[in-house]
Amino acid sequence: MRTAAATTTWTDGVLILDDGTAFEGEVAVAAGTARADGPEGVDGAGGAVATGELVFNTSLSGYQEIVTDPSYAGQIITFTYPHIGNYGVNDDDSEHARPFCRGLVVRDLARRPSNWRSRGDLAGFLDAAGVPVIAGIDTRRLTRHLRDTGARPGAFGADEDAVRAAAATAAPTDGRDLVAEVTTPTPYVVGDADAPYRVVALDLGIKRTILTHLVRAGCRVEVVPAGTPAAEILARTPDGVFLSNGPGDPAAVAGVPDTVRSLLGAVPVFGICLGHQMMGLALGAGTEKLAFGHHGANHPVRHEATGRVEITSQNHNYVVRADTVPGGARITHVNLNDGTVEGLALDDLRAFSVQHHPEAGPGPHDAAYLFSEFTALMDVT
Give catalytic residues, as residue numbers.
273, 357, 359
In whole angstroms, what is the distance from residue 214 CA to residue 236 CA? 18
What phi, psi does 39 have (nearest 5°)?
Answer: -70, 155
Neighbours of 334 (CB within 10 A): 19
Instruction: Write out the DSSP string of 269-280.
Output: EEEETHHHHHHH
What is the residue type of 352? F
Pairing of β 287-303 and β 269-272: unpaired
Closest to 245 in 3D by CA, of 207, 209, 215: 207
Rounded CA separation 112/13 (Å): 22
Residues paired with 83 in a beta bridge: 108
b/e sequence 104-135, b meaning 16+ C-beta within 10 Å: bbbbbbbeebeeeeeebbbbbbbbbbbbbbbb
Q: Which helix (H) or strand (E) holds 37?
A: none
Measured between alpha carbons, how far is 187 from 24 in angstroms, rounded to an integer?
44
Please tell me the distance from the alpha carbon of residue 145 to that of residue 21, in angstroms, as a whole number.
Answer: 9
Q: How far apart are CA 220 and CA 225, in angstroms?
A: 17
- CA dist., res. 344 & res. 356, Å (int): 12
